A = this chain, B = another copy of it.
């Protein structure tokens, strides 16, 4: 498929697609601070490119990207836009509902904002499955990169750390100012950790309080992890791995 983006198609092209397929990808990102070295749209750029490349390979349509996510804890740094979860849930549900009305039956929500977008995406996905009788899965890079992250020599999942910075250096090198990256010392938590490779509880995530985030902003300018280790070549391998995984999710749906 030359152009996998729904908004670049005319309705007769969508009609023709629906004769043969009923899958659509929905990239969902955020507009939130990514430290001094990466742009606010990092999560959206990653989600959109994952969807675009996997869509192209699998001949599957992509809905227009959603640039807005749930980022209450990042409001401590300028430019961040945070939308309340019920509005995001309603928006994604109605996107799915509109497309289901035309005949789409299987949906992959491609999330670039990791664990912070998951709760409301899960509620939207369940609502769509129950009320519309469609099938919805969520594709989240943080989990789908579990195996390859240690292999690439990266540390644990934090924020604007070497993992997503590398991926963005591959995708949009002109938007990364790696010279401004600030590393933080890892301070291990006893029982909870949002890193999927952590041995304790990786699930019961609650976004940091503003007080906690203000400390992070003062110390590193918003990153958690070791972004100075970011590398475009490693980012390319990571990205290729994720595109492949997304392809698998599509083919198993």
Q: A residues within 8 Å of B by Cβ? A: 5-12, 14-15, 18, 31, 33-41, 44-45, 63-68, 72, 75, 77-87, 90-91, 94-95, 98-99, 101-103, 115, 118-123, 125-126, 129-130, 133, 135-140, 142-144, 146-147, 175, 177, 180, 190-192, 196, 199-207, 209-210, 221-222, 245, 248-249, 252
Contact = CB atoms under 8 A, between A and B. Distances in A.
Given A101-B75, A123-B85, A191-B248, A9 B203 contact: no
Contacts of A201: 140, 143-144, 146
Nearest to A15: B78
State the majority secondary structure of interface residues on A.
mixed
A102 B86 CA distance: 23
13 contacts: A6-B31, A11-B80, A66-B68, A72-B130, A84-B90, A86-B86, A87-B87, A90-B90, A91-B91, A130-B210, A144-B200, A191-B248, A202-B202
Contacts of A252: 190-191
Query: So how many copies of this chain end up in the complex?
Result: 6
Given A11-B78, A95-B83, A65 B68 contact: no
Contacts of A133: 209
The 5 closest A-B CB pairs, nearest first, are A7-B41, A64-B67, A14-B79, A143-B201, A138-B204
A81 B68 contact: no
Contacts of A210: 130
A220 to B, nearest CB: 12
Nearest to A209: B129
